[in-house]
Amino acid sequence: MNSPHNNKAKTGIIIAAIAIIAGIGWYFTRDNLEGITVSNGRIEVTPLDISTKLPGRIDTILADEGDYVDKGQVLAIMQLDSLEAQLNEAKAYHQQAIHQANSAKSIIAARESDKAAAQSAVSAKESQLYAADRKFQRIKTLTAKGAATEQDLDDQEAYTKVLHAEIETAEAKVQAAQAAIDAAKAQHIATESQVIAAQATIDRIQADIKDANLIAPVKGRIQYRIAEPGEVLGAGGKVLNLLDLSKVHMTFFLPTQAITGLVAGEKDGSEVRIILDGAPDYVIPARITFISAEAQFTPKTVQTEDERQKLMYRVKAKFDPALLEKYQKYIKTGVTGEAYIKTDKDMAWPNRFDIKLLEDPSAE
């Protein structure tokens, strides 16, 4: 049977051992974290609302919460009876405009034919006038010699005047035909404009029909199903909420002295190692893509060095899209963890921060 003295001795030994182990653990942790800053954060995924562009009733929803969808995939179908009726009406008006344009084109051809006939008539009368003028000159000479009568001369002169009048009439017909051509061309331009306007209406309605069916803008996972089939929504009504799995980051905060020298950028941002609380055996690489321009926590009056240490800046570390593509089924928003950042950019990462990922995601 153990005596109270022995029990106290054993208890003292255990406490001492725990203290030694804790001290050793702190010592190695301190050494391993030298030149490294750690901060708590959580995983955030960019959400997208899948909303209606036009008011209408939902016919079918083809995706449910938790479903993975591809870019361009149809997620919901709206009732399109009204739009289809508008499309049929626009097509009928378009066809009517085409017929009117063709008719105007035919009228142009007819008026051009009238002009050509009038021009031919002018040419014919001019030929007759030329012959009549020469005959008039001959008769005039003969009359002077007594070989022709004055009546013959008067008749020929009257005939040439008639031909002059007929030429003027024919030329007027040419001008009238040209005016008719110009009017027909103007009408044709107007009808062609109607054809273009009708086609534009068809294109707009077809675009509305295409937009009425909700399409996934990116590859991702459905987070919420906000509406149900049969509901009538206005323009901009939310139907689904989609998580963009290509844009995943961790948000955390760093003090003033820790952000000095850090760089934000998609490709050249400072390196980060992330260890999630739910997966402590894995070390995930990331890069800083955002550092807030001003402190998030600022004392009312910054005077002492201690107060200046309270200044904290919001930081985002983004994961590699190729990595996200491979492990997308394991992405969970809101998961907490720790972000480790090198404050000494020239130092190498300690072994404990070597990248370690799930080797075969499909096997899990």
Q: Is 312 left (phi over 0), alpha (psi -120 to 50) or beta?
A: beta
Torsion of CA 80, 85, 86, 88, to 10 degrees: 120
Which superfamily, per CATH, for 82-212?
Helix Hairpins (1.10.287.620)
More confident residue, 268 or 298: 268
pLDDT at position 5 is: 45
Q: Which residues pair with 142 in a beta bridge?
A: none
Residue 297's pLDDT band (cuts 50, 70, 90): low
CATH T-level topology, domain 33-45+245-363: Elongation Factor Tu (Ef-tu); domain 3 (2.40.30)
Is residue 139 within 8 Å of residue 133, measured between CB atoms? no
- Mean pLDDT estimate for the chain: 80
pLDDT score of 307: 54
Task: Convert the pLDDT of each residue in 124-161 to its tens digit.
Answer: 878 887 888 888 788 878 888 777 788 877 787 888 88
Q: What is the pLDDT of residue 16?
A: 38
Looking at 214-223, 234-243, 252-261, 308-317, which range is the least confident one? 308-317
Among 8-22, 111-125, 260-274, the least confident range = 8-22
**Confidence category of residue 65, pLDDT binned at 50, 70, 90:** very high
State residue 337's pLDDT score. Answer: 92
R_g over Cα of the chain: 46
Query: What is each CA distance from 57 to 65, 213, 222, in whole angstroms?
Result: 20, 11, 21
Please report which confidence band the pLDDT of residue 203 belongs to, taking 50, 70 and 90 as the band edges.
very high
Residue ranges of domains in the chain: 33-45+245-363, 82-212
